[in-house]
Structure 1
Amino acid sequence: MAAGISIASLFLPIAAVVIIVAAAFAVYKAIYKRRINKRLAEGREADIKPMMSPFKFIIVTLLGAVGGMILIWLIIIIVFSARMNSQKKDMAVYPSLSFYRDEMLEDSLFAGYKFGDEIKGYNRVSKQFGDVKLEVYIIKNSYDMFPTVLVASDYVGDKETVTFCEGVKYSFYSEKWGNDVCPDSLTAIDVGGYKGEFTLEHNVYYTDDAEKLINEPPDESYRLDFKIHESGSISCPQLGFTVDSWD
């Protein structure tokens, strides 16, 4: 694949230069032929401006085409590099997911957490969708070392096999975690310096089949739409709150 891309990247500019030179020479040849015919028809009295020789014309056109392709290539590289740098900079502040459970939870700042516990420094909002209970924690103040949003989930229905899949979506990107039901676990969303909207999707599957989890739609799906305002406040219409986390 890499070799194919390399060959194509070399072939296309060369082909473009050849086409440009060939088209320019065809026009030159037509004009040159017409002037010769005019000279033959009118003799030495014909008012004809001198033209450069075919060889010189090809050399000049070839150099001009190559120079133009190099200029276009440099412009493309500069624009692409600028966009990549901008994208990398943006990605650094886009929301990201972390999942704490079992020993990971014990070794984290949230050691000892049990479903529904209060977490110091966070506002807690409880929400139930059918047989799924969610505990959503929103940070009270902005600290880079703490996640902005924490979500704990539990299933209280009668299905024997249940799998939760949680994901965060924003603009052009999405990130997803899949896990068995673990009510004392925490999904952490770190928004960094991101300002804007993102969605937490909580999907429920009544199976643990990996293929079905990937290829089939969830049996139940819930979403929480968050918005980080320029002022730093956080809002979520499904939870009915706005928290000014930067006060």
Structure 2
Amino acid sequence: MARAAADGSFQTGLRPELGRPVYRAAKRAFDIAFSGAVIALAAVPSALLCLAIRLESPGCPIYSQVRMGRIERDGTMHPFRMYKFRSMYADADERLAELLDQNEVEGAMFKMRDDPRVTPIGRFIRKHSIDEFPQFVNVFLGQMSLVGPRPPLPREIPDYAPRDFRRLTVKPGLTGPWQVSGRSDLSFSDMVELDLDYIERRGLLYDLKLIARTVRVVFTGEGAA
């Protein structure tokens, strides 16, 4: 269904969800205020974590990965750089090919519970979703929202069925129903169903409920790979 272009974008033939203008404006204002506050408050702890990651293993402590943004008005999806604290060894991307046959999730997604590429510090920060904190920068810049479907990798897009693309008709999020409903315990199809349900139900109150549930998951590590 999607056609790849030389610049890394994809043409999908779909259109974004553009209704609810008041909700979208309020959501963007909340994204800016909330992410800006987190970035300011977490500056010193983030610097200390970066130091610990760098001392544990070589490589930049901030990892950037190309992800796909939401479907735009012309039907295209464009790539952007999503940021994380590095939770794997520096050669993790190169080692992925040798692990693909051990994928534990069906569909267009890779998950492995005991991934040998993950560092000791990485296991802790992944369990409690601390590795995702740099994405508050993506939220502040408008590339992501606090709540929404997780942005896919470009290599996952060719495996999408037509129904799967509907989850990409809204801005991707740092958290969402998948993150608070089991994460790695769920299949790809489960994630798609949760995202489509979110798109139908989305609103400020529902977003706030998902954020509150995310705080609990961060502390408990529930459903982490």
Q: Where on the TM-score scale, by shorter chain, does this alignment land: which range? A: under 0.3
So what's the TM-score if we normalise by structure 2? Answer: 0.24
Higher relative contact order, chain-length normalized (CA < 8 Å, sep 6+): 2
Q: Write 1 or 2 for the structure with the bigger share of strand.
A: 1
Larger Rg belongs to: 1
Q: Write 1 or 2 for the structure with the bigger share of helix.
A: 2
So what's the TM-score if we normalise by structure 1? Answer: 0.22
